[in-house]
């Protein structure tokens, strides 16, 4: 434990090349996150605003030297009355919400009235507003984050952390997450700048019962138990970015999110190993650059859109219970095996009603037409979606120039009657 009361553990170490790869990935992950609550102010250390002061001796001497009349620029004399503080508290709260984190906190020092308004305004914290002139500064920013939340009575409207690493600052991390849970945080974006990749996420994350939106990046999730299950009764939007989550923990989390509508998993490599969608409220699911063994829509009566961009080995895409599904893709005929109603769809097979998804309107497919298996699969695939309205095809070029099919091949495949 260090002098600040923060402690560190021995985590997995990685070689420099791996670290360089992840350092390149994290900015991409951050770019996919929702926009900041308040834009980061652009301040240059040598700007004119810092060098020039209306009350500096240099300004006064320059004015006296040239003898020019500057009365036109002179402000009207002040009567000393604080008119801003006389504005309605609701308007003052709106002003505080529009300020960067540092400036919003400083309003509490203006007067007792301003301090009451600040304390009564739901807190917004963004670590980008706490960075020093030299960029990321680990210890001061981690402490500032923890103290910002600890000093406010709550509730916490939103916290966005995307610039710092909590390595060796576990005490501050646990305190921060515990305070967020106690003060009813509603919107949380918490990304750990590696290293390490297996940084443990505090158990108190499961106590944040007031969350409406949650994005977590580069964490190792805690184990769930029957005695301490995750509790997210109000959560509507969940994003997991490059995090280590066991299948049991992931599925338990979905089961305890009765209002979840949007789910995003980005760069999840085998943890979880499968994307099993079983949610009565889920409407949109996104899988981007992950390596799941399978993607299964088992019990998702409200699911309308499933987007995925897969990498790695061949895997199954199973549609079992998704009666409202309208948008699907990108279905890669080289990587994906489609299974509908327990039947694997194969090229040339007779498609029965039990193998159809009549609700689907938009389909995106990636296909290599020079490959016989994929070219023959496409017409069969389209028969599974009898009410399809829009088809997006991404054609993958072949490395075999002599394998291009002639016109007779396509005439034999027959027309696609479902497309208008």
Looking at residue 193, its pLDDT comes to 80
380 is a domain residue: no
User: To 10 degrees, what angle do helices 170-182 and 138-151 make?
Assistant: 20
**Global pTM exceeds 0.85:** no
**C-alpha count within 13 angstroms, C-beta hemisphere, residue 346:** 5
Q: Are 367 and 395 in contact (CB under 8 A)?
A: yes
Question: DSSP letter at 125?
Answer: E
Per-residue pLDDT averaged across 272-278, rounded? 92
Looking at residue 65, its pLDDT comes to 46
H/E stretch holding 59 reads helix 57-66
Measured distance CA(210)–CA(212) in Å, rounded:
6
111 is a domain residue: yes
299-331 per-residue burial string, b: 16 or more CB within 10 A, e: under 16: ebebbbbbebebeeeebebbbebbeebbbbbbb
Residue 51 confidence class, pLDDT cut points 50, 70, 90: very low
Parent domain of 101: 85-121
Looking at residue 159, its pLDDT comes to 95
Residue 18 confidence class, pLDDT cut points 50, 70, 90: low
For residue 109, give the nearest of 100, 117, 121 by alpha carbon.
117
CA 292 to mean position of chain CA atoms: 19
Beta pairing partners, 394: 366
H/E stretch holding 302 reads none
3-state class of 193 per DSSP? coil
**pLDDT for 217 beyond 80:** yes
92 is a domain residue: yes
Per-residue pLDDT averaged across 163-188, rounded? 92
CA 57 to mean position of chain CA atoms: 50
Number of domains in the chain: 1
Taking every pair of Cα atoms in the chain, the longest distance, rounded to a whole number of angstroms, is: 96
112 is a domain residue: yes
180 is a domain residue: no
85-111 per-residue burial string, b: 16 or more CB within 10 A, e: under 16: eeeeeeebeeebbebbbeebbebbeee
104 is a domain residue: yes
| Weakest mean pLDDT among 164-168, 241-245, 400-404, 412-416 | 400-404
Residue 42 confidence class, pLDDT cut points 50, 70, 90: low
For residue 197, give the nearest of 413, 54, 23, 39 by alpha carbon.
23
How far, in Å, are 15, 160, 260, 282, 375 from residue 302 at the CA level?
44, 30, 11, 6, 32
185 vs 64, residue with greater confidence: 185
350 vs 371, residue with greater confidence: 350
SS3 for 135-166 is ECCHHHHHHHHHHHHHHCCCCEEEEEECCCCC
Q: Which residue is associated with the tokens 């991390």?
A: 173
* pLDDT tens per residue across span 65-87: 444 444 444 555 666 667 788 88
Q: Are 220 and 199 in contact (CB under 8 A)?
A: yes
H/E stretch holding 187 reads strand 187-191
Radius of gyration of the chain (CA): 28
H/E stretch holding 1 reads none
| Weakest mean pLDDT among 53-67, 220-234, 366-380 | 53-67
Question: DSSP letter at 203?
Answer: G
Measured distance CA(282)–CA(373) in Å, rounded:
34
Residue 232 confidence class, pLDDT cut points 50, 70, 90: very high
Q: Are 156 and 123 in contact (CB under 8 A)?
A: yes
Per-residue pLDDT averaged across 120-126, rounded? 93
127 is a domain residue: no
Looking at residue 370, its pLDDT comes to 81
117 is a domain residue: yes
Looking at residue 12, its pLDDT comes to 45
Give the Cβ contact number of residue 250 at 10 Å.
22
Beta pairing partners, 307: 286, 329
């Amino acid at each position: 434990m260090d002098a600040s009361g923060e402690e560190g553990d021995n985590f997995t170490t990685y070689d420099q090349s791996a670290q360089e790869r992840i350092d390149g990935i994290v900015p991409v992950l951050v770019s996919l996150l929702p926009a900041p609550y308040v834009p980061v102010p652009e301040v240059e250390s040598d700007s004119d605003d810092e060098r020039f002061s209306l009350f500096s001796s240099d300004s006064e001497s320059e004015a006296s030297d040239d003898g020019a009349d500057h009365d036109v620029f002179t402000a009207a004399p002040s009567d000393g009355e604080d008119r801003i503080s006389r504005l309605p508290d609701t308007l003052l709260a709106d002003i505080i919400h529009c300020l960067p984190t540092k400036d919003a906190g400083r309003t509490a020092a203006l007067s007792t009235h301003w301090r009451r308004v600040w304390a009564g305004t739901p807190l917004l914290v963004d670590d980008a507003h706490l960075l020093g002139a030299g960029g990321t500064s680990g210890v001061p920013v981690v402490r500032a984050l923890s103290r910002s939340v600890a000093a406010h009575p709550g509730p916490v409207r939103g916290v966005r952390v995307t610039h710092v690493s909590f390595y060796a600052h576990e005490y501050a991390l646990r305190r921060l997450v515990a305070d967020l849970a106690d003060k009813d945080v509603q919107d949380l974006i918490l990304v750990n700048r590696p290293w390490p990749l297996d940084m443990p996420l505090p158990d108190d994350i499961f106590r944040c019962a007031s969350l409406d939106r949650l994005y977590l990046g580069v964490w190792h999730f805690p184990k769930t138990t029957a005695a301490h299950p995750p509790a997210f009764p109000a959560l509507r939007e969940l994003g997991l970015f490059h995090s280590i989550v066991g299948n049991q923990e992931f599925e338990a989390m979905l089961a305890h999110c009765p209002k979840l509508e949007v789910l995003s998993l980005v760069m999840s490599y085998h943890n979880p190993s499968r994307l099993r969608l079983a949610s009565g409220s889920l409407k949109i699911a996104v899988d981007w650059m992950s390596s799941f063994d399978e993607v299964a829509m088992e019990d998702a009566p409200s699911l309308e859109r499933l987007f995925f961009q897969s990498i790695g080995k061949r895997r199954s895409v199973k549609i079992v219970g998704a009666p409202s599904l309208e948008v699907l893709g990108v279905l890669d005929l080289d990587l994906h095996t489609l299974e509908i109603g327990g039947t694997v769809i194969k090229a040339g097979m007779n498609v029965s009603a039990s193998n159809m998804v009549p609700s689907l309107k938009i389909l995106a497919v990636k296909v290599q037409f020079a490959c016989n298996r994929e070219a023959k699969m496409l017409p069969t695939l389209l028969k599974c979606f009898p009410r399809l309205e829009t088809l997006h095809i991404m054609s993958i070029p072949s490395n075999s120039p002599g394998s291009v099919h002639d016109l007779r091949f396509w005439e034999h495949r027959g027309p696609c009657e479902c497309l208008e």
